[in-house]
């Protein structure tokens, strides 16, 4: 019985996962990234790129934690809240709708989504 359940699970899982398509909502960090408050701005420095024994590339970067796409864990606002590593992964995954506004944003980089954008979806 256990083997049959495992076999059925192994056969069904790829089909179930195919129904979901993860979407990357992150944005690149660069000198235009917005930061909260008086945070240190983003900086990126090439340390070395090229032959060093065989080949080696190394960079350094610095950025504040409250800039760009990020997660504010409950601990950020509550000393008894979860820190990022404490949050169960299933609490960070959910159903969503993807509304493509790239065309409107290419015309107006400050474009703000409207109710009509979502109703048209």
d(CA 72, CA 38): 17
| DSSP codes, 16-68 | HHHT----------STT--BSTTPPPPEEEEEEEE-SSS-EEEEEEE--SSBS
Half-sphere exposure of 98 (CA within 13 A, CB side): 8
Per-residue pLDDT of the chain (121 residues; tens, 9 = 90+): 556 555 555 566 667 667 777 777 777 777 788 887 788 888 889 999 888 778 899 999 888 888 877 888 999 899 999 999 999 988 988 888 888 999 999 999 999 999 999 887 6
pLDDT at 6: 55
State residue 39's pLDDT score.
81
Residue 92: strand, helix, or coil: helix
HSE-up (13 A, CA, CB side) for residue 48: 8
* CB of 40 closer than 8 Å to CB of 31: no
**pTM flag (> 0.85):** no
Report the alpha-carbon angle 70-71-76, nearest 5.
Answer: 125
Q: Would you list the domain boundaries of the chain? A: 28-110
pLDDT at 11: 63
pLDDT at 63: 85
């Amino acid at each position: 019985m256990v083997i049959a359940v495992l076999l059925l699970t192994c056969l069904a899982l790829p089909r179930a996962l195919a129904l979901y398509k993860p979407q990357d909502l992150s944005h690149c960090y660069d000198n235009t990234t917005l930061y909260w408050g008086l945070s240190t701005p983003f900086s990126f420095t090439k340390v070395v790129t090229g032959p060093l024994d065989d080949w080696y590339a190394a960079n350094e970067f610095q950025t504040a934690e409250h800039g760009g796409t990020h997660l504010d864990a409950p601990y950020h606002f509550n000393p008894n809240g979860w820190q990022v590593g404490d949050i169960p992964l299933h609490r960070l995954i959910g159903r969503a709708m993807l509304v493509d506004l790239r065309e409107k944003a290419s015309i107006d980089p400050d474009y703000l989504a409207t109710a009509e954008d979502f109703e048209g979806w």
